[in-house]
Amino acid sequence: MIYTTLTPKNEERSDQPMLRSERRDLSLSRLIRAGTEILCEQSYASMGVEQVLQRAGLSKGSFYHFFPSKEQFGLQVINHYADYFNRKLDRILSQTENSPLERLRLYIQEGIVGVERFEFRRGCLIGNLSQELGATQPLFRTALEAAFRSWQNKVADCLQQAIDAGELNASAEVQAFAEFFWTGWEGALIRAKVLGSTAPIKRFTDQFFKVLPRSL
Amino acid sequence: MIYTTLTPKNEERSDQPMLRSERRDLSLSRLIRAGTEILCEQSYASMGVEQVLQRAGLSKGSFYHFFPSKEQFGLQVINHYADYFNRKLDRILSQTENSPLERLRLYIQEGIVGVERFEFRRGCLIGNLSQELGATQPLFRTALEAAFRSWQNKVADCLQQAIDAGELNASAEVQAFAEFFWTGWEGALIRAKVLGSTAPIKRFTDQFFKVLPRSL
């Protein structure tokens, strides 16, 4: 999916006095957010600590105060990104005023808006890092797979609810289709980037809904 | 797909005398092959001309003798890679001793063997470069999209033959399913890399064959 938050600029900061622990939390969250934005747009290899600090509007010492290494920072960024979308999935897929499949469509629509908002510069951080580091970095591998897995389980739950609500045929294998969805989603984001258009995402998701086995 | 050739090592060279034009062609093809292997494994940004020459076993002057820039080299590598798989698709999808869908399965099996052979280090060059450069480099964009499109047309032809042979329902939208196939394939390669296993590719392609509308 596409991370749609922006690190606040320095001038937007509040002048309200803060406790030391609050300042600490704020710095930490700004670092993580800056790292997330950067890794949606460029490679892990090309991301510099200096660049993260600059984007977060923080001074030099603060990075190693929080993170023993760039690798540990990268892992926290992956977890933050995974959680961000887990919360988004929870929020949208629990809107019971819509049917389960409608909710999944709403989630997709939000994703497409995010892709357009950042003019295809931002990809999926999990997809990007999987491609860059999946084969070589075992520590990242585990975190990336956990992210995929958590999103997949939420979509599988949604498809199960669609069976329970009579939208899908009871024989639909929900885990298989949930994996199918995320696999295709990652591929569709890549094609959208090349075409500079969300059409490949729309075509993929339309096709996905067409092949879901409907209840008879 | 996965490029499974290897640039010949220096010691494997033949000592047979060659014409000047033959030497030229050989050097050119070694450079392109070396570039292809490198870009299946690492980013365009991190690929150095020196590295290409070293892998190709050629001396420093030869790169700029053939290519005015790294960018022009990259484009030729993309075209070479696209053609390599177009030929592979032509070869496997025309084996009329098997049914059209069996041929597609054979093509997939060769792809899986390639992934395993290079222990997940090699990804799809078109997918890799699309992710890295798709959003920013218009020249690459066109070449990458042309590659996707040519592969898609070949799979669409195969699916049309499956309709003609009575394997698929005549209502199956062959272009939509061919695009669906390649979209998911690119995503499946990413997941395979993270898991260090071809299981995600097998699960994706099994699911793809399951959702194809069979003739009644």
User: Does the distance separating the beta carbons of B182 and A186 come in below 8 Å?
Assistant: no
Q: What single-letter DSSP state applies at residue B12?
A: G
Coil vs helix vs strand at B125: helix
Q: What is the DSSP string of B144-203?
A: HHHHHHHHHHHHHHHHHHHHHTTSB-TT--HHHHHHHHHHHHHHHHHHHHHHTSSHHHHH
Residues of B in contact with A191 (CB under 8 A): 130, 148, 183, 186
Find how far residue A30's CA is from the centre of its chain. 17
CB atoms within 10 A of CB A61: 8
Which tokens go with B216? Answer: 């009644």
Do the Cβ atoms of B188 and B201 come closer than 8 Å?
Answer: yes
Q: Report which of B22, B135, B206, B158 is spatially closest to residue A191, judged by C-alpha positions.
A: B135
Model pLDDT for residues A84-101, shown as the tens digit of each residue = 999 999 999 999 999 999
Greatest mean pLDDT range, A143-152, B58-67, B117-126, B130-139? A143-152
Answer whether B130 touches A (CB < 8 Å).
Answer: yes
Asked if pLDDT for residue A1 goes beyond 60, the answer is yes
Contact (CB, 8 A) for B54 and B122: no
Of A207-216, B45-54, B114-123, the one with minimum mean pLDDT is: B114-123
Return the pLDDT at B87: 97
CA angle (A187 as vertex; A182, A192 as ends), nearest 5: 120
**B195 touches A at CB < 8 Å:** yes
Decide if pLDDT at B199 tops 60.
yes
* pTM listed for this prediction: 0.90
DSSP H helices, chain B, are: 20-41, 49-56, 62-66, 70-93, 100-117, 125-133, 138-164, 174-195, 199-211
Q: How far is A129 from chain B (nearest CA, A)?
A: 9
pLDDT at B134 over 80: no
Residues of chain A neighbouring B43 (CB-CB closer than 8 A): 43, 45, 132
Beta-carbon neighbour count of residue B171 at 10 Å? 9
pLDDT at A73 over 80: yes
Q: Which range among A144-148, A201-205, B116-120 shows the weakest confidence by mean pLDDT?
A: B116-120
Mean pLDDT of chain A: 92
Closest listed residue to residue B139, CA positions, set B65, B50, B66, B77: B77
Nearest Cα of chain B lies from the Cα of A153 at a distance, in angstroms, of: 15
Contact A190 B134 (CB under 8 A): yes
Selected for mutation to probe chain A from B152, B186, B189, B209 (highest A CB count within 10 Å) is B186
pLDDT given for residue B12 in this prediction? 52
- Tell whether the model's pLDDT for residue A10 goes beyond 60: no
- Per the structure block, which two tokens stand in for B50? 């020196």
Instruction: Determine the average pLDDT of the residues in A158-167.
Output: 98
CB contact at 8 A, B124 and B144: no
From A43, A119, A145, residue closest to B43, measured CB to CB: A43
Average pLDDT rounded to a whole number, residues A33-38: 96
Per mean pLDDT, which range of A3-7, B5-9, B148-152 is the poorest?
B5-9
Matching residue, tokens 């070694």: B30
Reading the block at residue B159, the tokens are 């699916």
Per residue in A100-110, is it b (16+ CB within 10 Å) or e — as a string?
bbebbbebbee
pLDDT for residue A137:
84
What does the pLDDT look like over B45-104, one tens digit per residue? 889 999 999 999 998 888 999 999 999 999 999 999 999 999 999 999 999 999 999 999
Query: For residue A192, what are its two tokens?
Result: 């959208």
Question: Which range (A11-15, A135-139, A167-171) has the least confidence?
Answer: A11-15
pLDDT value at residue A122: 84
What is the predicted pLDDT for the residue at A93?
A: 97
pLDDT score for A134: 77
Residue B69 distance to chain A (closest CA, Å): 22
What is the reported pLDDT for A12? 52
**A152 CB contacts (<8 Å, ≥6 apart)?**
A175, A178, A179, A181, A182
Question: Which chain A residue lies closest to B123 (C-alpha atoms)?
Answer: A131
B-interface mutation test, from A180, A181, A185, most B Cβ less than 10 A away: A180
The maximal CA–CA distance of chain B, rounded, in angstroms, is: 63
- Cβ of B193 within 8 Å of Cβ of A131? The answer is yes
Most B-contacting residue of A2, A151, A183 (CB-CB within 10 A), to test interface: A183
Query: pLDDT value at position B15?
Result: 67
pLDDT tens-digit map of B153-194: 999 999 999 999 999 999 999 999 999 999 999 999 999 999
Residue B13 Cα to chain centre, angstroms: 26
